[in-house]
Chains A and B, each alone.
Chain A
Amino acid sequence: MRHLMSPLDFTTEELDELFDLAADIEIDPEKYAHVCDGKILATAFYEPSTRTRLSFEAAMLRLGGKVIGFSDAGSSSAAKGESVSDTIKVISQYADICAMRHPKEGAAFVAASKSEIPVINAGDGGHQHPTQTLADLMTIRSMHGKLDGFKIGLCGDLKFGRTVHSLINALVRYDDISFVFISPPELRVPDYITDMLKEKNIPYQEVIKLEDVIADLDMLYMTRVQKERFFNEEDYVRLKDFYILTKEKMDLASKDMLVLHPLPRVNEISVEVDEDPRACYFKQVKYGMYVRMALIMTLLEIDTEAG
């Protein structure tokens, strides 16, 4: 029995198989519409996360399975003081697979160690959110055609952004990728990431302004710069516009540059950019669902030819 705790739990070969399956689901969803008939997914969400929970639920329903669960700790037995270990042992009696979101880091790992069914980490605090990374990789593979040989710009809050760190760690396993980190000095990518890139001889550059580098990028991964991350109001006012993607900035980019964003977006991408064919962030949501469908099937060891 396998679980998914971190995006690095799967080898690149295993990820290729997973993405192949997700791509096939996209092409022929009917073929997979009943592969999970009679199976139940439990969504154990100890904190609200509408997007991820809906994605998991949609994924299971589209495979023919059913969904049970709770969407905040207050409506679960956690409010009565039940441990994660006990909760997963109970869920194991009802469901065939569980997606768990918890505000504490390592909660899904605790669940997996006691579970009788596969556990998917649907986010554990600021630690891991592997299915977001799988969605990002799937989008890149689908839209760019491959997972190697490109220059990716990561823009915004690179210090606290969990999805950014996860994506970098996942991408360094592929060939010929270079990184451009675009952030205010306060929100630079952490040293352990740049140290790792130096050690692996992976090219990267760090810049403050998006306009300076956007023309060279094959891909741009946007994240939100939150006001509260700045030390003072003055810096925030001075820098915030650098990290808002507008139509004017898109005009400077190549005609093939893809724009990704883990969502939710606040104002870091102007709504006018949504119409640009290079904007992939809503497609990313769809790929996230396909990859979760493929993941559920893989962890449930459902014969991919069965459909």
Chain B
Amino acid sequence: MLNVGKIEEGFVLDHIQAGKSMSIYEHLGLDKMDCTVAIIKNARSKIMGKKDILKVECDIDTLDLNVLAFIDHNITINVIKAGEIIEKRSLKLPKEVRNVIKCRNPRCITSIEQELPHIFFLADEEKEIYRCKYCEEKYSQKDKF
């Protein structure tokens, strides 16, 4: 098994659905940061079978946790200080997300007015359904990414 060393300061995103880590890497803007990032794909997991893990050496507050929660609210966040886990954070589906996904409805006003932000609001928390703020087009978990 491949070993990736501990990090001293930063956070670990655990229980990422296998195959989703690169999408998260991009949506969190980690590609634009110069901190150390380890992307572990298809790690063995008792609960999930396979999972992805991201280890990031930067301050957790630089992250937009809403984006992360929208992508997958089952991800757990371990905050690391001095090499130890000092906090575990769970995620809740955000009430609203901006410019994370685009409305796919060709009849939506956002399809012709490019400068408009793509805003989705949480319409049904139980079914994890979001709707476009303009045209109310539905986006469910399976449509994401």
Chain A residues with CB under 8 Å of chain B are 83-85, 102-107, 109-110, 124-127
Contacts and interface: CB of A to CB of B under 8 A. Distances in A.
Given A105-B107, A107-B134, A109-B134, 18 more contacts: A83-B113, A83-B115, A84-B109, A84-B113, A102-B109, A104-B111, A104-B135, A105-B105, A106-B109, A106-B132, A106-B133, A106-B134, A110-B109, A110-B116, A110-B134, A124-B109, A127-B135, A127-B136
B112 interface: yes
B107 A107 contact: no
A106 B108 contact: yes
Chain B interface size range: 10 to 19
B135 A125 contact: yes
Given A84-B113, A110-B113, A104 B108 contact: yes
A124 B105 CA distance: 13
11 contacts: A83-B113, A104-B111, A105-B107, A105-B134, A105-B136, A106-B108, A107-B134, A109-B133, A109-B134, A125-B107, A127-B135
A110 B109 CA distance: 8
A102 B111 CA distance: 13
Instruction: Tell which of B108, B132, B134 has the most Cβ of chain A within 10 Å.
Output: B134
Interface of B: 105, 107-113, 115-116, 132-137
**Residue of A103, A107, A126 ringed by the most chain B CB atoms within 10 A:** A107
A105 B108 contact: yes
Contacts of B137: 105
Contacts of B112: 104
The winner among A106, A110, A127 for most chain B CB atoms within 10 A is A106
B111 to A, nearest CB: 7
Contacts of B110: 106
A165 to B, nearest CB: 11
Contacts of A84: 109, 113
Contacts of A125: 107, 135
Contacts of B113: 83-85, 110
Contacts of A110: 109, 113, 116, 134
Q: Which of B109, B110, B135, B137 has the most CB of A within 10 A?
A: B109
A126 B134 contact: no
A104 B103 CA distance: 13
Contacts of A83: 113, 115
Nearest to A109: B134
A238 to B, nearest CB: 31
A107 B136 CA distance: 12
Contacts of A126: 107
